[in-house]
Amino acid sequence: MNALTPFERLDELFPTFWRRAMQPLAANIEPMGAIRIDVDETDKDYIVRAEIPGAKKDDIRVEIEGNRVAISAEVRKDYEKTDKDDKNRVLVRETYRGSASRSFTLAHDVDKATSTAKLEDGVLKLTLPKRQGSGSKLLSIQ
């Protein structure tokens, strides 16, 4: 037995450990993670695209205060698989309920009065015109 044997075994353990840790817990359900955003800027406004899969427009809040934008969402995702022979017997039930939020600041204050928000296919698109000002406004999702 050589002196490196325990360390070699440890090296073999960690790749397996990390590989297993990185696998999703359920193949059919993606857990709610952080809201991912893309922000584009033009001379007149900011265009924000936020991925919020599984969220309904009534469960999303967008709040603007000066140059700070906050997006929050409640998500509920249900998945159920039943036995075809017996409808009363549930074999698998996986449910996700949770919330996610994201806030960020922009270089310019946002004109809350003309800002718009639209949800389509799990992507929230915000059009945020630039303006000097302060205060807070809750946007309604179209």
Residue-wise pLDDT tens digits, 81-121: 555 655 666 667 667 778 889 999 999 999 999 999 999 99
Show Cβ contacts of residue 139 under 8 Å, excluding neighbours closer than 6 positions: 62, 63, 64, 115, 116, 117, 126
The residue ranking higher by pLDDT, 123 or 96, is 123
Cα(129)–Cα(41) distance, integer angstroms: 10
DSSP-derived secondary structure for the chain = --TTHHHHHHHHHHHHHHHHHHS-S-TT-PPP-PPEEEEEE-SSEEEEEEE-TT--GGGEEEEEETTEEEEEEEEEEEEEEE-SS-TT-EEEEEEEEEEEEEEEE-SS-B-GGG-EEEEETTEEEEEEEB-----EEEEPP-
**How confident is the model over 14-66, as pLDDT tens digits?**
655 555 555 554 444 445 567 899 999 999 999 999 999 888 899 999 999 99
The verdict on domain 29-139 having CATH code 1.10.599.10 is: no
Question: How far does CA 122 lie from the centroid of its chain?
Answer: 10
Q: Where are the domains of the chain?
A: 29-139
Check residue 55 and give its pLDDT: 86
